[in-house]
Each structure stands twice: as C-alpha cells, then as structure tokens.
Amino acid sequence: MNIDYSYIFNLPPFSLDKDEKHKLYEEILYELQKHHSGNCFQYNKLCSLLGNNPALPVRLFKEYDLKSISKDEIYKVMTSSGTTGQTVSKIYLDRETSARQAKALNKIVSDFTGKTRLPMLIIDSNKVLKDRNMFSARGAGILGFSMLGRDMTYALDENMNLNLTVIDEFCQKYEGQAVLMFGFTFMVWEHFYKPLSKMGHRLDLAGTLIHGGGWKKLASEAVNPEEFINGLKMVTNADKVLNYYGMVEQTGSIFMECEYGHLHASVFSDIDILRAEDFTAADVGEKGIIKVTSLLPTSYPGHILLSEDEGILEGVDDCPCGRKGKYFKVCGRMQGAEIRGCSDTYERR
C-alpha cells in the first residue's frame, strides 16, 4: 500500500478546494481499492462485478465479517449500538486504522475548539465504557472524544441521572475557563437538558458543547436543532453548541457543523448526495442518499459507504465560515416503504 498518510495529516483539515481534493482522492482511492481488493475476498468479488471502488451499503457490515487484515492483526472490533433484536455492525480495526481515526478526529475537532486540551465534561455515564472488549459506537465515541480533553468528568451516574456533586465540583474548578462538553444528542437532551431545565438550574460552564449520533429519537419529540441549541444555552453558558455527523463504520473522519449550521467534509473524508432513481450525483439543494468516503480505513473495506440517510448538499468551498470543501445537511434516516406483496400476514404489533 502506497499511501502517504503523514502528508494528509499535515494538511490543515479544511484547506483543500474542489480541484485539489479531487486530485488527492483520485490517487488515494486508487491505492485503497487495490489494497482492499487484494486483502478482502468479499470486496474483491464486489469489484469484479460492480467496477472499482463500489460504495458498500452499511448494512453489509452487519451481515458479513468484512476485513482486510488477518485475524491476529485485529486490535479491536467496534459494534454499532443497535437496539435490541437488531444485528449489529462489526468493524474490524488494526492499530494503524484505529490510531489514524483518533488522530483525524483530533485534527477536525481542534479546528473548532482550538489546539489546547480543555477540561472535559462527558454527558454520559462511565458505565458505557465498562466492557472494553466489544466497543459500542457510543463507547467508542466517548473514548475518541475524550482524547481531545483533559480531566475527563462524567456528568451522569450509573442510572443516567445527573451527578450534581461531580458537576458542581467541575464547575467550580474551571470557573471562568472554557471547557469542552461532549455527549450524544439524545442523551444530552434527555438526561442533561431536561432535568436541568426542570430544576431551573444553569451550570456555570463556558466553552463548546459537541454532540452527535442522530436526531431520530428526538424528532419523535419534535425537537429541532434550533430548540436544541437554545435549550442547551439556557442550562449552560456554552457559547457554541455544535452537532456532528458520523458513523461507526467511518469513525474519526466526522463531519462537524460550523457556526453557520453547515456540516463540513474535512480533508479526511468526502460526501456525495445521490439520486435514488439512478445513483447519479444530485445537484446542490437537491435531496438524495448520502454516500460517504473516508481515506482512513485500511483494516476493513469501508472507505466508500452508501448510508441509509438522506441529505442535501448546500455548497462547495464557499461557506461563510471560510472552510473549504463540501458542506451539507442531513435530513435523517430514509423512510421505510410499504411494499405490496403476499407474505407478511401475521401482524406482530
């Protein structure tokens, strides 16, 4: 494999314009294609019929053990936090891929929070991390982000209740300083915002709150991004509340939201919006299926993935925040269609 990762890591994370990025990706994707088809037989089979660098549907990682490394090179296996009864994705990581993911995450996030490691409040319970063998997406997310801060403090106890003693102590210790808060969108709302707002409590915490993991659960409560930001700014002193889009199948190369509410592709990853009828590229402003490309994975063939989310490309290279590359928004998980046909008479609900 002939990929100069140090070159990519030396680039400022949002510095490449359309043409520069295209050139870089052409080169590296060629290498990744060669590497994965030589080391993952399922991937090789797919390439032989679908052509080079096919997008893999994320569902395939639930159905097959897709990896481009030998068994003894496996460093850890990440799993999606599937709800009970669902099969989970299995993502095989070796040390290199895992380290690359951590490094990329750091590069991307520090573009928003600065290079210094800030005191960090994690809005979750540390019980999520207890089982180190099987890394759930939630655990991996927490662990990944925790590398970016110092003095990691968990805001919730084992029962997902506010641990006010710990939080107050943290607030006093870092009074007047910028801190980093991190959590999953739903957890932050349900177990942090809601109880605080009910108590009428405002925490003296300044700095940035970063959250991700999807709006699906919140949409059913009709919470929109704006309300979320306003809500969190009421219960804390955070000056920035930023969302990110990412998936366990491409950990590290996340898409961060800027102060203008746009999700940005960094040098480590790219996004394409495809039309459902023929998978051609949708125009700016046109809703379609999200395809994500990441330069990071070499231990599993997940560098190009077809998601089950819909999104809209909002522009390229010209976001007022100054970051280069594509920026977009996510519309959420695609709606399951009601298919006609004979089977399925026994209604389970």
Partner 1 sequence: MKDVDILIGSLPEQVKLYSPFDDLLCEFVGSFSKAVLHDTKAKQMPDVISLGYWCRAANIQKMKEKCTDRQERLGRGVAFHVTPSNIPVNFAFSFFFSLLAGNANIVRVPSKVTPERECIIRILKDVLEPYKEIKKRTMFVSYPAKSDATEFFSRLSDVRIIWGGDETIEAIRLHPAKPRCVDITFADRYSLALINGKYVLEADEKEIQRLARAFYNDTFYMDQNACSSPQLILWQNTCKEAKNKFWDAVYSYTQKHYIFPAIEAVNKYCRVCENIIDSDSIDSIVTKGNVIIREKLKALLPDEMLLFRGRCGQFFEYDLEHISEINGIVNEKYQTLSYYGYNPKKIQKWIVREGLTGIDRIVPIGKTMEIGMVWDGYNLTESLSRIISAE
Produce one character per residue of 118-130: b if its CB has 16 or more CB atoms within 10 Å, e if not. Answer: bbbbbbbbeebbe
Residue 40 beta carbon to partner 1: minimum distance, rounded to whole angstroms: 11
Cβ pair 249, 178 in contact under 8 A: no
Residue 25 binding partner 1, by CB under 8 A: no
What is the nearest approach in angstroms of partner 1 to the Cβ of residue 220?
Answer: 19
Cα separation, 81 vs 139, in Å, equals: 9
Name the packing angle between helices 137-146 and 95-113 (round to 10°).
60
Question: In angstroms, rounded to a whole number, what is the distance separating the alpha carbons of residues 136 and 77?
Answer: 9
To the nearest whole angstrom, how small is the minimum distance from the Cβ of residue 32 to partner 1? Answer: 18
Q: Measured from the CB of residue 309, what is the shortest distance to partner 1 in angstroms?
A: 10
Lookup result for tokens 């003693």:
165
Among 46, 121, 178, 263, binds partner 1 (CB under 8 A): 46
Q: Which is nearer to partner 1, 1 or 50 (CB)?
A: 50
Q: In the set 56, 69, 155, 258, which binds partner 1 (CB under 8 A)? A: 56
What is the helix (H) or strand (E) element at residue 132, kind and residue range?
none
Distance, first Cα to last Cα, the chain: 51
Among 279, 315, 316, 317, binds partner 1 (CB under 8 A): 279
Contacts to partner 1 from residues 59-78, by CB under 8 A: 59-60, 63-64
Binding partner 1 (rule: CB under 8 A), the pick from 122, 188, 289, 305 is 289
CB of 62 to partner 1, least distance (A): 10
Give the residues across from 212 on adjacent strands. 184, 244
Tokens 């991937």 sit at which residue?
43
CA distance 4 to 2: 7
Where residue 86 falls (left for φ over 0; alpha for ψ -120 to 50; beta otherwise) is beta
Residue 276 contacts partner 1 per CB under 8 A:
yes
The SS3 call for residue 278 is coil
Note whether 85 binds partner 1 by CB under 8 A. no
- Which residue among 12, 38, 57, 332 contacts partner 1 (CB under 8 A)? 57
The residue (of 222 and 342) whose beta carbon lies closer to partner 1 is 342
Restricted to residues 290-349, the positions that interact with partner 1 (CB under 8 A) are 306, 308, 310, 334-349
Kindly write out the interface string for residues 232-271 of this chain, putting x where it contacts partner 1 by CB under 8 A and - elsewhere.
----------------------------------------
Sequence-separated (6 or more) residues with CB below 8 Å from residue 309: 289, 290, 330, 331, 332, 333, 334
Please tell me the distance from the alpha carbon of residue 16 to that of residue 267, in angstroms, as a whole number.
Answer: 7
We find the least distance from the C-beta atom of residue 230 to partner 1, in angstroms, to be 32
Binding site for partner 1 (CB under 8 A): 42, 45-46, 49-50, 54, 56-57, 59-60, 63-64, 276-279, 289, 306, 308, 310, 334-349
